[in-house]
Amino acid sequence: MLKRRGFWGLILGLLVGLLFCVVGQSVQANADYTISPYRVNVQVLKNGDANVTQTMTYQFDDDYHGVFDVQDMRGIQGGQLTDVQYQVNNGGTVSGVSATDGQNGSYELTQNKHRMKVKLYQTVSDGDQMTVTYRFHLRGIIKNYRDTAELNWKVIGTGWDVQLNHVKVTIQLPQTKISKLQAWTHGPLSGHTQVDRQQGRVVMTVAQNPAESFVESHLLFPTTVTATNTNKVAKDRLVAAQQQEAKLARQANQKRQQSLWLRRGVFLALVILLIGFGARSWRWYHRHPANKYTHPTPINHSFEVPGVTPALARSLADGMSPNTDALAGEILAAAARKEITLEPVKNGRKDTVKLIKNGEQTNSFLDKCFAKIGSDDSFTLQELKKFGKHDKTDELNKWFSEWQESVDNVADAYYDENNLNLRERLIGTRLGLSALIILTAAASWLLGATAGKIGIVSGLVVLIAFWVLVGRFYRHIDRNNAKGLVQVNELTGFRRMLKDIGHFNTAEIGDLILWEQILPYAAAFGLAQKVADKLAVDFGSAALDTDLVVFYPLFYGGLGLPLGDALSDSLSTALQSADTSTDSSISGGSGGFSGGSSGGFGGGSGGGAF
């Protein structure tokens, strides 16, 4: 069975890893700002020059002095910066002023034949938003060959240190109705190129362009569009450029198709794994049914003293290991058996209770406390807390765990081991299948946005139905055997009686000897003080002083300590203190981006914040 589980775990792990490989992005160094949206508008002129407007919006997660932008000019005939504008948050648009003093609103331009770098000084803080617009005039971006005009340009270069989001690049030619306009874009394969020949416009969009990645635009159109262009080359270019782009487009389409089939394969594998795991699990549970028992008639209120110890009573009623309330109940029971004496100690604001050893101890936790804490076979709750605070070796928790284990061993006789194992396995099955359902629903986005939305809704419906079904099945698996069901039924009625103690006259139910036996159980259920207060009302202080010999000084002696709560709280505090345990167009029409590069000019442009 372990080998089979290991096999399915390995398969699931491989599929999860493959899913992240398919949908994951390369890890980039984190910057304390994002850029969204990013817009570039290129207005091509008749002479082959272009007016470029570059607009980006920064979202800052830290304080910065300003931002900068680099415009690569390699491969063209030069250019100049014509304007810088910015807007901080909801303020008005401000025009930058050329200066070298670094004051807010100033910009500094450094330029050579390879690039222009613009530094805009404007102090921003964490949470600020700033939109910056740069305008450039670039000369000679178009080449007129004998048979075609060409624009081949990395509009977005590799100099960006952060991902650009919601990217849109618009190139408007100086003429409309260009029937022979062709365009290709190289960059992320998720991008799209829209060629509008009627308007003489090309629009490129991509949701995210990763850091240090480029978007390259390659346009071919008749030379008459840029008729006055002096940047001419006396050779033919059209066929070679078309062949180059056709090859790149085929390669991109092949990669895109491979990616699609890989995504489909991952999704199909998850569906098969989900169905297979679900069918295998159903078959296993069908072949290994739970043991069935006849349930006793529920008891509403029980006034009988349980036939088990207070700690075991709390453990069985909760179906888990005993807690500090249960230990407090055991301490009161030990006092009732005269194994220990509980003595109030008035000490100003630090009133406490002293536990005095009278003889052999049946409680292992108490036995170790008497041996290691306090002196003269006694210790106070104050000393218990202090010991826990300085318990570097975690002894106190070890003693408590050993005591819990001893109670758990006795409780085993009341449980059905087969059903408990079945319940534990069902929890693992529920978690495993839930993870597969969620993973499969998430993987549906690999097939597209529409499929993703359908997958998420369907996955949610399946997940809810699955949890309801498993929950009903789980509740019908009895953790207790026949003996345990009877005992738990009595304990449930007994605890309900203690909770509803205010509705009864305790003096009419039994004498104080009975209630002295009940008080340790009330402490184990965290209800000791509630019961003690009710006894005071029904019996009167004189009767309590005479007949409630063991517990009267503790509950009614004026110490101001609710004993059951004091014991449990002291134990919890001490134990916690001791705990030392984070597709691309081949023809040049509209379509997806291509990979590779057509060798366009530029490529070093970029920017960021400083």
pLDDT at residue 588 in the model: 52
Amino acid at 327: L
State the Cα–Cα distance between residues 247 and 73, nearest whole angstrom: 28
pLDDT at residue 173 in the model: 95
Asked if residue 139 lies in contact with residue 76, where contact means CB atoms within 8 angstroms, the answer is yes
Q: In the structure, what pLDDT confidence band is assigned to residue 27 with cuts at 50, 70 and 90?
A: very low
Q: In the structure, what pLDDT confidence band is assigned to residue 296 with cuts at 50, 70 and 90?
A: very high
Query: Mean per-residue pLDDT for 526-539?
Result: 89
Asked if residue 131 lies in contact with residue 86, where contact means CB atoms within 8 angstroms, the answer is yes
pLDDT at residue 70 in the model: 92
Least confident of 40-54, 298-312, 380-394, 422-436: 380-394
State the Cα–Cα distance between residues 83 and 192, nearest whole angstrom: 30
The 3-state DSSP class for residue 532 equals: helix
pLDDT at residue 252 in the model: 64
Q: Given CATH 1.10.10, say whether it is the number of domain 37-236+591-609.
A: no
pLDDT at residue 212 in the model: 85
pLDDT at residue 226 in the model: 95
Asked if residue 173 lies in contact with residue 201, where contact means CB atoms within 8 angstroms, the answer is yes
Cα distances (angstroms) measured from residue 141 to each of 50, 135, 151, 180, 579 = 7, 15, 6, 19, 71
Query: Mean per-residue pLDDT for 171-186?
Result: 92
Sign of CA dihedral 155, 158, 161, 164: positive
Query: Mean per-residue pLDDT for 449-458?
Result: 86
pLDDT at residue 90 in the model: 87
DSSP bridge pairs for 118: 69, 109
State the Cα–Cα distance between residues 85 and 120, nearest whole angstrom: 9
Asked if residue 592 lies in contact with residue 584, where contact means CB atoms within 8 angstroms, the answer is yes
State the Cα–Cα distance between residues 537 and 347, nearest whole angstrom: 28
* Whether the predicted pLDDT of 24 surpasses 70: no
* Whether the predicted pLDDT of 479 surpasses 70: yes
- Measured from the Cβ of residue 361, the count of other Cβ atoms closer than 10 Å reads 17
Q: Which of 242-246, 349-353, 374-378 has the highest mean pLDDT?
A: 374-378
β-sheet with 142-144: strand ranges across: 142-144, 149-156, 215-221, 182-186
* Whether the predicted pLDDT of 179 surpasses 80: yes
Query: Mean per-residue pLDDT for 169-178?
Result: 94
pLDDT at residue 484 in the model: 94
* Whether the predicted pLDDT of 402 surpasses 90: yes
Average pLDDT taken over every residue of the chain: 85
- The single-letter DSSP state of residue 307 is S
State the Cα–Cα distance between residues 307 and 6, nearest whole angstrom: 45
pLDDT at residue 596 in the model: 57
- The single-letter DSSP state of residue 338 is T
| Predicted confidence (pLDDT) per residue in 495-530, tens digit | 999 999 999 898 888 888 899 899 999 999 999 889
Asked if residue 231 lies in contact with residue 142, where contact means CB atoms within 8 angstroms, the answer is yes
* Whether the predicted pLDDT of 167 surpasses 70: yes
User: Could you identify the residue written with the tokens 């014509």?
Assistant: 82
pLDDT at residue 34 in the model: 93
Contacts of 259 (CB under 8 A, 6+ apart): 22, 189
Q: Domain residue spans in the chain?
A: 37-236+591-609, 310-416+501-561
Sign of CA dihedral 595, 596, 598, 604: positive
| Predicted confidence (pLDDT) per residue in 56-106, tens digit | 999 999 999 999 999 988 888 899 999 999 999 989 999 999 998 889 999
Query: Mean per-residue pLDDT for 307-334?
Result: 93
As a 3-state breakdown, the chain gives helix, strand, coil percent values, each rounded to 5, of: 45, 25, 30
Q: In the structure, what pLDDT confidence band is assigned to residue 570 with cuts at 50, 70 and 90?
A: confident
pLDDT at residue 365 in the model: 92
For 281, list phi and psi in degrees, rounded to 5: -65, -45
* Whether the predicted pLDDT of 587 surpasses 60: no
pTM: 0.56
Helix (H) or strand (E) holding 508: helix 506-509
| Cα of 82 vs its chain's centroid, Å | 47
